[in-house]
Structure 1
Amino acid sequence: MVSRVIPVEPFDLVIFGGTGDLARRKILPGLFRRFCDGQMPDGARVIGAARSEMDTAAYRVTVGEAIGEFGGDSAVDCDAVDAFLERVEYQAVDAKGEGGWEALRGLLRDGMVRAFYFSVAPSLFGDIAERLRSFGLADAQSRIVVEKPFGHDLASARSLNATLAQHFDEEQIYRIDHYLGKETVQNLMAVRFGNMLFEPLWNAQFIDHIQITVAETVGVGGRGEYYDKSGAMRDMVQNHLMQLLCLIAMEPPSKFDPDAVRDEKLKVIRALDPIDYHQLVRGQYGPAGDAPGYREDVGDARSRTESFVAMKVHLSNWRWAGTPFYLRTGKKLRARDSEIAVVFKDTPHSIFGPEAGQHRNVLAIRLQPNEGMTLDVTIKEPGPGGMRLIDVPLDMSFADALGPDAEAPDAYERLIMDVIRGNQTLFMRGDEVEAAWAWTDPIIEGWQSRGDVPKPYDPGSSGPEDALMLMHRDGRRWREIKA
């Protein structure tokens, strides 16, 4: 299957933190794959910027190594790698000082789209933004890309937004959440608003409940210092799961336009009911055999930070009144599995009698692994012996449906190209971020004031038993976490 490439204008993309882990693993390999797909026009350049003192030749060696390790099948084409590296340059800069900025300005060309990727700690966002303006690197058409976390709470998010707003307009700020770049996440809107089959049923009258699961098999790893200050609520729920909830629950926008889409997402966040501790379960993985538990991983034997969260939330609006949304995410779980499951209600009356059992239609959207969708429908079990009903999935795995040669772009690839195009649809707006923190902060403050201790759970499980009871009390069950 040949991809349909939408051309972009020539650009200069500066990656601050160009020697960091994110640049090596995601940004630079992603740009290389876009180059191989013909989506980087002649004249497009990538400029790495960091504290390390090195020249462009040395940086190109580093970039080539990153492509070889993380670039995928395209990286075996040495000619393509060499051609891409010819577009790569490097300049050492001091984010908090004066060094390197004049030289960096000299590398930038007039008449090009200028994008600046802040692949650095949030504490440096303000310093870099100020220097981009004071040294004349940015103009009214320039764009900046900022990575999460977008603050630690509402106050810090407001402060960060205000700092960036001193130097850039909201239309120039791209707050990147890689979950929104996933092919299946974007398909949520296509499935809902592009098919007459689903949208008339997308409401409390026909949907019993919705489950959103983001499960990981890994622990906190080398992120222990950061993670122990954040926890699953700040690291995953406030941003990733919140965005998935918005896309699955929002009203149809008037058009597929950045502000129209984000206006509807904002309405979802503002419609969220406050949550109390009866609707929330926090967990923390323990040790298993020789494998350390969470507290050993972060080096704090008294840590009360959660590595797992499950919650039941409601939206106070006409579309979703009375329909619960169950959210869960955690580390060291049974499998790596991200899924949104839309569970429809039972038929009003079963003509087949109670012996036919309970059967429900479920639309499951798999985000990872094996991106795709399944729709469970009820049919008669083949064979004689009466009307026995079974549920079978109508399965659409992207790899099967689109052919073996179809390769969906990595989330970062898509989002970076959207930055160059000036398309903010898949990026969060400042008021979205603040609204999410306004809902999240009271939850965190509540368990801190009560001194709540996370429930322990075994690595490789589905999480704490209390999370299972969260559903069982309502006569429902979590879908199995599976690879």
Structure 2
Amino acid sequence: MVARTIPVDPFDLVIFGATGDLARRKILPSLYRRRQAGQMPEGARVIGAARSKMTRTAYQKSIREALEEFVPEAERTAATVKAFVDCIDYVAVDVTGDGGWQELCGKLRPDVVRAFYLSVAPSLFGTIAEKLAESGLATPDSRIVVEKPLGHDLASAQELNAKLTRHFDEQQIYRIDHYLGKETVQNLMALRFANALFEPLWNAQHIDHVQITVAESIGVEGRGGYYDKSGAMRDMVQNHIMQLLCLTAMEPPARFEPDSVRDEKLKVIRALDPIHVDDTVRGQYRGNGSAGYLEHVENPDSKTESYVALKVQISNWRWAGTPFYLRTGKKLRSRLSEIAVIFKEVPHSIFPEVSNRKGNALIIRLQPDEGITLRMTIKDPGPGGMRLREVPLDMTFADALGDEFDIPDAYERLVMDVIRGNQTLFMRGDEVEAAWAWTDALLAEWQDSPDRPQSYDPGGSGPDDALALLHRDGRRWRDIPG
């Protein structure tokens, strides 16, 4: 079964930072797959822009090499690769100077969708936006795409938004978060708002608590310089996990339209209680036969967290009294991203002899093996009385929809949404600033605290104090599988 695709209008997509890792690893392979799926029209063009001096032929050769490295051989055909590479051009541009801008201007067409993807350091976002405006490239219908980090704190996020909106209207700005492009994240909205089964139960009266986990098995190798200035809170919680929290907790939007959805997400962020440091746990993985966190960063006394767990409360009618437990970390047992909605027990059990029941839970898996599992209690088959057991009603997408079903990579969907002009899965400026306003208060408390992050062994589930965060409430984390 192959996913249905709807072709988009012809477009010119300019990728700044076109020779960088993100462009080679994600953006260009995603565009290739959309070409292969028939969604990228014949009239589409991709123009790489970077400081390096090279010819179009040389850049096309590098794209072929990127496709060979990052696209499985089974997905590459000579004809499709040639057709894709033929639509690619290249311009050497000095984004902080004047070189290359007029040449770039001459390559863009006036009668097609025009988009600029800024796959560069955030410090260059404002400069490039200004240059696009000065060069006459920023038309009223053009779009600009920026990657995280969208600021380092509230003040820098406000400054960045001011620079972008000086030259582009808010409806032209696409702040990309690849987590929102995942199939299961969008299925969360379909699950809630297209089914009569769950929405009546989606509140504090029926849900005991929610766990959101983003676990990584890798460390900070190769990214120590960046990560030590960021940490798990800035790198994951303020953006990715915050978005998952919002989609899980938000009220039904009036319509499935960009601003309706983003209005409801913003309400969730504004309803978050200020978080107390006692409801947080910071961790830092130690060396255990290999280099620990401190061996990968320049500061041997760094207090930057590679793990964070939080207990979060939302003060509104739907969620008052139902905590959300968030955790993310490096060097954990395995790679796992999931949202676990844990329902309350039945008001009165007629099976008092049954113990150790975990109860009903809805598990939304983002990675690996995207899918949804509903944990139910049934009678254990066979004679001998009423024995109960818990079983999963499992819908792993690859199993339920067939191995041939095409689940696009998040970047495939998001880049095509930029071309369509659909901002539903992109963050709005006020949303970003509200998330930073909530995050900054906790970061300031950590900064002023003399306490260091708790050490934890690599390959486990994180610091011991993270277990206690739930144990004191009579709850426990879901296992991170080995």
User: Shorter-chain-normalised TM-score: which range?
Assistant: over 0.9
Amino acid at match of 1:218: I
In 2, the alpha carbon distance for the partners of 1:203 and 1:354 equals 29
Instruction: Tell me the residue number matched to 1:454.
Output: 453
In 1, the alpha carbon distance for the partners of 2:299 and 2:358 equals 47
CA contact (8 A) 2:357 2:390 kept: no
Cα-to-partner distance string for 1:276-317 (whole Å, 9 max, x where unaligned): 11100000000011x100000113211110000001000000
In 2, the alpha carbon distance for the partners of 1:355 and 1:212 equals 28
Instruction: Tell me the CA shift for residue 382 of structure 1.
Output: 1.8
Amino acid at match of 1:430: G
Instruction: Tell me the residue number matched to 2:436.
Output: 437
Instruction: Tell me the residue number matched to 1:476.
Output: 475
Instruction: Tell me the residue number matched to 1:181.
Output: 181
Instruction: Tell me the CA shift for residue 401 of structure 1.
Output: 0.8
In 1, the alpha carbon distance for the partners of 2:338 and 2:368 equals 9
Instruction: Tell me the residue number matched to 1:22.
Output: 22
In 2, the alpha carbon distance for the partners of 1:74 and 1:427 equals 31
Q: Are 1:362 and 2:351 an aligned pair?
A: no
Instruction: Tell me the CA shift for residue 357 of structure 1.
Output: 4.5
SS of equivalent to 1:343:
strand
Instruction: Tell me the CA shift for residue 29 of structure 1.
Output: 0.4
Q: Are 1:221 and 2:224 an aligned pair?
A: no
SS of equivalent to 1:82:
helix
Instruction: Tell me the residue number matched to 2:350.
Output: 351
Instruction: Tell me the CA shift for residue 47 of structure 1.
Output: 0.4
Instruction: Tell me the CA shift for residue 222 of structure 1.
Output: 1.0
SS of equivalent to 2:13:
strand
SS of equivalent to 1:298:
coil
Q: Are 1:206 and 2:236 an aligned pair?
A: no
Instruction: Tell me the CA shift for residue 366 of structure 1.
Output: 0.4
Give runs of aligned pairs for residues 104-143 of structure 1, distance below 5 A: 104-143=104-143
In 1, the alpha carbon distance for the partners of 2:20 and 2:259 equals 32
SS of equivalent to 2:362:
strand
CA contact (8 A) 1:212 1:328 kept: yes
Q: Are 1:193 and 2:190 an aligned pair?
A: no
Residues 357 and 452 of structure 1: is their aligned pair in 2 closer, same or farther, counting only changes over 3 Å?
A: closer
Instruction: Tell me the residue number matched to 2:44.
Output: 44
Instruction: Tell me the residue number matched to 1:381.
Output: 380
Instruction: Tell me the CA shift for residue 451 of structure 1.
Output: 2.4
In 2, the alpha carbon distance for the partners of 1:65 and 1:110 equals 31
Amino acid at match of 1:224: G
In 2, the alpha carbon distance for the partners of 1:329 and 1:105 equals 43
User: Structure 1 length as normaliser, TM-score?
Assistant: 0.99
SS of equivalent to 1:243:
helix
Instruction: Tell me the residue number matched to 2:304.
Output: 305
Aligned positions, number: 482
Give runs of aligned pairs for residues 163-182 of structure 1, distance below 5 A: 163-182=163-182
Amino acid at match of 1:188: L
In 2, the alpha carbon distance for the partners of 1:73 and 1:324 equals 46
In 1, the alpha carbon distance for the partners of 2:55 and 2:358 equals 64
CA contact (8 A) 1:51 1:92 kept: yes
Instruction: Tell me the CA shift for residue 450 of structure 1.
Output: 1.5
SS of equivalent to 1:302:
coil
Instruction: Tell me the residue number matched to 1:466.
Output: 465
Amino acid at match of 1:42: E
SS of equivalent to 2:184:
helix
In 1, the alpha carbon distance for the partners of 2:185 and 2:3 equals 19
Residues 259 and 412 of structure 1: is their aligned pair in 2 closer, same or farther, counting only changes over 3 Å?
A: same
In 1, the alpha carbon distance for the partners of 2:106 and 2:356 equals 72
Structure 1 residues without counterparts, runs of 5 or longer = none
Q: Are 1:54 and 2:54 an aligned pair?
A: yes
Cα-to-partner distance string for 1:180-209 (whole Å, 9 max, x where unaligned): 000001111000001100000000000000
CA contact (8 A) 2:138 2:168 kept: no
Cα-to-partner distance string for 1:107-164 (whole Å, 9 max, x where unaligned): 1011010000000001000110011110111200000000000000000000000000
In 2, the alpha carbon distance for the partners of 1:356 and 1:155 equals 52
Instruction: Tell me the residue number matched to 1:428.
Output: 427
In 2, the alpha carbon distance for the partners of 1:12 and 1:180 equals 24
In 1, the alpha carbon distance for the partners of 2:58 and 2:28 equals 15
Give me the CA root mean square deviation. 0.9
Instruction: Tell me the residue number matched to 2:71.
Output: 71
SS of equivalent to 2:52:
coil
Cα-to-partner distance string for 1:224-246 (whole Å, 9 max, x where unaligned): 11100000000000000000000
CA contact (8 A) 2:17 2:118 kept: yes
In 2, the alpha carbon distance for the partners of 1:65 and 1:45 equals 19
Q: Percent identity?
A: 70
Instruction: Tell me the residue number matched to 1:6.
Output: 6
Instruction: Tell me the CA shift for residue 459 of structure 1.
Output: 0.2
SS of equivalent to 1:168:
coil
Instruction: Tell me the residue number matched to 1:95.
Output: 95
In 2, the alpha carbon distance for the partners of 1:353 and 1:226 equals 54
In 1, the alpha carbon distance for the partners of 2:224 and 2:66 equals 24
SS of equivalent to 2:339:
strand
Q: Are 1:241 and 2:244 an aligned pair?
A: no
User: Structure 2 length as normaliser, TM-score?
Assistant: 0.99
In 2, the alpha carbon distance for the partners of 1:13 and 1:241 equals 29
In 2, the alpha carbon distance for the partners of 1:409 and 1:357 equals 39
Amino acid at match of 1:37: A
Instruction: Tell me the CA shift for residue 385 of structure 1.
Output: 2.6
SS of equivalent to 1:211:
strand
In 2, the alpha carbon distance for the partners of 1:354 and 1:10 equals 65
Instruction: Tell me the residue number matched to 1:417.
Output: 416
Cα-to-partner distance string for 1:82-124 (whole Å, 9 max, x where unaligned): 1110000000000100000000000101101000000000100
CA contact (8 A) 1:457 1:463 kept: yes
CA contact (8 A) 1:151 1:160 kept: yes
Instruction: Tell me the CA shift for residue 356 of structure 1.
Output: 4.8
Amino acid at match of 1:353: P
SS of equivalent to 2:229:
helix
SS of equivalent to 1:406:
coil
Instruction: Tell me the CA shift for residue 73 of structure 1.
Output: 4.2
Instruction: Tell me the CA shift for residue 79 of structure 1.
Output: 1.6
CA contact (8 A) 1:356 1:387 kept: no
Instruction: Tell me the CA shift for residue 75 of structure 1.
Output: 4.5
SS of equivalent to 2:228:
helix
Cα-to-partner distance string for 1:307-364 (whole Å, 9 max, x where unaligned): 0000100000000000000000000000001110000000000011144553410000
Choose 449-458 or 225-234, whichever is displaced more: 449-458
Structure 2 residues without counterparts, runs of 5 or longer = none
Instruction: Tell me the CA shift for residue 380 of structure 1.
Output: 1.1
CA contact (8 A) 1:376 1:392 kept: yes
Instruction: Tell me the residue number matched to 1:33.
Output: 33
Instruction: Tell me the residue number matched to 2:400.
Output: 401
